[in-house]
A and B are shown apart, each in its own frame.
Chain A
Amino acid sequence: MSRARVLALLFGAGFADEAPAQDALAWRDSVQRISSGIRALQDSLLEQDSTVQEIQRRGLLVVYATSQNHARAVAALGALEKLQARWFGGASPSPDGFRIVLNTIEERGIFSAFYPTSSSQGKVIVRGLPDTGNASRDYRASTSDDLGPDLISAFSELMVGTLGSAVRSWLQHPPPLYLDDVEREYLAMYGVVTGTDRAARGCVAGVPGACAEALGLRHVPGTDPTAHFGSVVRADFLLTALEIGGSNAWSRLRSAGDASAEEALAVAAGVPSDSLLAAWQRHILSLRPNQAPLEVKPVLLAVAWTAGLLVMMLGASRWR
């Protein structure tokens, strides 16, 4: 190797510009290498280790946790059990079971100095037996004191993953089952009544077919594709179908395979699509508030108390 080349390698390499990577095969190799790295890391995160111990069993559900997470893990398992029975008829994402690993992380902010935090680094594992090597698995980090929402969110995602592609694509995101009923339904109601496009207004006004169009179940050519109801409203419609359909609704929905979202949801509910839409519309509109946010009496009371406090403060001060 010539001296010039050696010098160039020694001193020039540090300043070398980014090499243009315009080869599809090189990028393909990168993707494959990174994907295998991701898989290996995910597998390692999903493994059970000696830091966790079994805390409780409920039917086919088993929870393991590190020592400082016992109480939270039991509470989260209870929440999951109720949710599984209510919405999914006790079904599991796979016949092989499932495994969800939550890595609990203490969140540190500037105000954490003022109050003791109960959360700390640790791990909670929930297994749905038999949890074979082929079981559905999910991993996520949890910074919240209440592990229920993260566990429920992970479970919902695994369950939605078993649905047909048409329903999954229509749903956009797994339903927010971590919200309580009142909160979720009010969010959906707000989404419905504040919709501004023709279909959304038609849905509120009771125009036949408008709700199906606004929910994105039926497409009308020439309409604005971005104006359909969002995922929270769609999720509410899905949950209405499951509620009407009873304990076997989820299994019927899953069996619907690649049927369109509208057909699959009607099958799950066990009623014709139009009846399901009408029932959902009636319920969601019944949630609209019928009272003004401010009433005269509390306003007058607040003003009177303010005036009273001011008068008392004037009387309390004394000039020396």
Chain B
Amino acid sequence: MAVRLGGLGLSMIALGIVMLPTLRRKPEPEPSESQRRVFRLGQLRGQGSVARLYWTALAERDSGLALVERTPRSPTPSVVLRGFSPRAHALRARRIIDSLWQQLDRVDTSVRVSLVIYNGARYGEAQQRWQSYSGTSIVSRPGGVGCVALVPSGEAADGAIAVGSAGWEGGRLIHALAPCLLLARFGAPGSGVGAWLTATRYEAAGSSAWLDQPRGFIDGYRHAPWATWRQEDRAEGRTQESILLGSAARWAGQTLGPPYQLGGQGLRCLTGDAASCHAAVLDPSARIAAETKALPGDLTYSESMVRNAEGFALLDPRLPGNWWLSDLIRDQGPEKFASFWKSDQALDAAFQSAFGETLGAWTQRWSVRQWENSYQQMYNPQPLLLGATLAPEWPLLALAWTGVALLLTTLAARNRQVR
């Protein structure tokens, strides 16, 4: 017994020696003047980038609204270039628009659509076009609806404007035009759906895949549903990183734990709770309204315009994804969707009437399909668990292995016992 206690004591002392340096914390050095300036520089760059987004959004929106008044009703949108040289041309963008509108089987001419391509360099940025606003202004007028897609671009030496070319320039154009496509095809929404769309700033109307993709296509670049760019959980992530073993522990937590970045409602929805799916579609409007109150109500917004850059907490509501409406059309067909879109009932009632099932039930199916086909689930699968759970096979397995280990030890010990 004395030998065992001695061994234990020695082990404790050895462990203590190893741990000693961690307990004796070195005082953090005061940041130098140069470091303070660097920190301030980072802050200013962040603020400048948000301010530039708002500046471009508001300035171009004003010109866009003026344009709506002047634009005659036409089955195809007009393309307006602002701030470029006289030789500038947007042939690529024109081709894309023509191709999109040709795919519409009918066009509501009470909706006047325009594309405004503006020169980002006018706002003092030669290269960084991602700091300029790209989105849509949707206004209701007595004679119909005006929809103006606003996209920044630059001008090449031959006058070609990059909007519509390969890469993110093309993606941005389609994204800005997507709400206008829905309006052009289905007309002004009914008051129920319209109120939800306005409150969420048309966030779920960002895809045009319903025009040219088959039913089985997985949209949203195979992102997880309910995911957002600001996935960081402000309560959890930073605490883990600072207190535990740095980013490695955080990575392990994110890999082994449930996908908390989808939010509480999203997780419950994925695990089969249709009421959470229902709430998740309807709830984010208040959050979006609060976050974007500095932006006129007719403009769509991007994540980088939101002042609260700290990220989403677990319980913060998130929208399903900007391809949600497009997927709804592809799944249910344009005729049923048109009746949903035009309905004056509240969103959930309109959904039930048009599609014959509840908003929650359909969204739950949609959500699971998207999750199972997302890149995240394919390459970094995370268990969908809620609360403290322990699968029944684990305790049994642990007990069985313990028994085997004990048995082997006993057998080995019996054979080696000195009598």
Q: Which residues of A contact B (CB under 8 A)?
A: 18, 20-24, 27-28, 30-31, 34-35, 37-38, 41-42, 44-45, 103, 105-106, 108-114, 121, 123, 141, 165-166, 168-169, 216, 219, 221, 223, 225-226, 228, 257-258, 314, 317-320
* Inter-chain contact B51/A22, CB cutoff 8 Å: no
* Inter-chain contact B28/A108, CB cutoff 8 Å: yes
B window 257-313: CB within 8 A of A: 293-296
A35–B45 alpha-carbon span in the complex (Å): 8
A320–B38 alpha-carbon span in the complex (Å): 66
New contact pairs (13) apart from A106-B29, A110-B245, A113-B22, CB-CB < 8 Å: A24-B58, A28-B59, A34-B44, A38-B41, A45-B38, A108-B26, A109-B246, A113-B21, A169-B162, A225-B165, A314-B412, A318-B416, A320-B418
* Inter-chain contact B294/A141, CB cutoff 8 Å: no
Q: Which 3 A-B pairs have the closest CB atoms?
A: A258-B157, A27-B55, A24-B58
Within 8 Å by CB of B167, from A20, A45, A105, A225, lies A225
* Inter-chain contact A23/B22, CB cutoff 8 Å: no
Q: Which residues of B contact A (CB under 8 A)?
A: 21-22, 24-26, 28-29, 32, 34-35, 37-38, 40-41, 44-45, 47-48, 51-52, 54-55, 58-59, 62, 95, 123-124, 127, 154, 156-157, 162, 165-168, 170-171, 221, 245-246, 293-296, 412-413, 416-418
* Inter-chain contact A121/B417, CB cutoff 8 Å: no
**Residues in chain A near residue B47, CB distance under 8 A:** 30, 34
A45–B42 alpha-carbon span in the complex (Å): 13
Nearest CB of B to A13, in Å: 19
* Inter-chain contact B58/A23, CB cutoff 8 Å: yes
**Residues in chain B near residue A112, CB distance under 8 A:** 26
* Inter-chain contact B35/A42, CB cutoff 8 Å: no
CB contact under 8 A between A31 and B293, given known A38-B45, A121-B35: no
**Residues in chain B near residue A24, CB distance under 8 A:** 55, 58-59, 62
A27–B93 alpha-carbon span in the complex (Å): 29
**Residues in chain A near residue B26, CB distance under 8 A:** 108, 112-113
**Residues in chain A near residue B416, CB distance under 8 A:** 317-319
Nearest CB of A to B198, in Å: 16
A317–B21 alpha-carbon span in the complex (Å): 35
Nearest CB of A to B87, in Å: 13
A106–B31 alpha-carbon span in the complex (Å): 10
**Residues in chain A near residue B156, CB distance under 8 A:** 165-166, 258
A18–B39 alpha-carbon span in the complex (Å): 26
CB contact under 8 A between A38 and B171, given known A27-B55, A123-B34: no
A24–B59 alpha-carbon span in the complex (Å): 5
A319–B54 alpha-carbon span in the complex (Å): 78
A221–B170 alpha-carbon span in the complex (Å): 12
A112–B412 alpha-carbon span in the complex (Å): 44
* Inter-chain contact A105/B35, CB cutoff 8 Å: yes
CB contact under 8 A between A31 and B51, given known A38-B44, A38-B45, A165-B156: yes
**Residues in chain B near residue A317, CB distance under 8 A:** 416
A286–B32 alpha-carbon span in the complex (Å): 50
Nearest residue (CB) in B for A109 is: B246
A319–B29 alpha-carbon span in the complex (Å): 55
Nearest residue (CB) in A for B61 is: A24
Sample of 8 A–B contacts (CB below 8 Å): A24-B55, A27-B51, A31-B48, A31-B52, A41-B37, A113-B22, A113-B26, A258-B157
* Inter-chain contact B44/A41, CB cutoff 8 Å: yes
